[in-house]
Homo-oligomer: A and B are copies of this chain.
Amino acid sequence: MSRRDFHRATEAERRHDLIEATLDCIAEAGLQGATVRQIADKAGVTAGLIRHYFASKEVILQEAYKVLIARLTEKAKNLDGTPEERLSSFIFVNLTEPVANSRSLSLWAAFISRVSVDPALAAIHREGYLSFRQELEQLLADFFVARGVAADPVRDRTLAIAMNGILDGLWLEGCLAGELFGEGELVAIAFSSIEALIGHPIKAPTSTDMDREYRDALRIHHR
């Protein structure tokens, strides 16, 4: 029974590793599998160290949730190109790897199931949600301006809600049962639904492979 070898790390490193280990544990075994011992084990430290960096287990879960939200939304921010390209990329990014996969969903659902129970998580969630939707609202506003359509904040809000809903739902379906769908099928559905919703065609993202792929799928029901 030898002692675990002592290794000092910077605070940033340790916190990052511990949070990452927490997410891994949740993804692999659900929230119940994320015990301080499991987390510590996965991070290669002993359980006591967690309490040295986080006031309680609740706190590390909250931090992990923040990281997860950031990871799920960061790809959708910082998009570049014309308003149309950005809107198009926004749709695409949210329905493909690395945002859309079963691990993301497991993590997301685990936290969501506690959002209505834990006020701290609820606050984190709401902030993430509003920021995501505002991003989308701005994207839509820019899109309409670029198309020469009059500004209309109410319309943009409603469309953002609708689009967010559609993206969430298709993301969900893809994560839950991705193997039931053809490659690019969900993206194609998203494009055609959203085009229909906002009443304007949207060019696919520049990636030509993907482009062809879901444009093909699109034809399935846009005959």
**Interfacial residues, chain A to chain B (CB-CB below 8 A):** 28-33, 102-103, 105-106, 109-110, 112-117, 125-126, 129, 154-155, 158-159, 161-162, 164-173, 176-177, 181, 185-186, 189-190, 192-193, 196-197, 199, 220-221, 223
**23 residue pairs A–B, Cβ–Cβ below 8 Å:** A32-B32, A103-B116, A105-B112, A106-B117, A109-B113, A110-B113, A112-B176, A113-B113, A125-B176, A129-B176, A155-B220, A158-B220, A161-B173, A161-B186, A164-B169, A165-B166, A165-B170, A165-B190, A168-B169, A169-B172, A193-B193, A196-B196, A197-B197
Taking CB atoms, residues of chain B closer than 8 Å to A102 are 116
Q: Which residue of B lies closest to A27 (CB)?
A: B116
Q: How far is the CB of A151 from chain B (nearest CB, A)?
A: 13
Q: Which residue of B lies closest to A33 (CB)?
A: B117
Q: Is the CB of A221 within 8 A of B158?
A: yes
- Report the bound CA distance from A167 to B166 in whole Å: 8
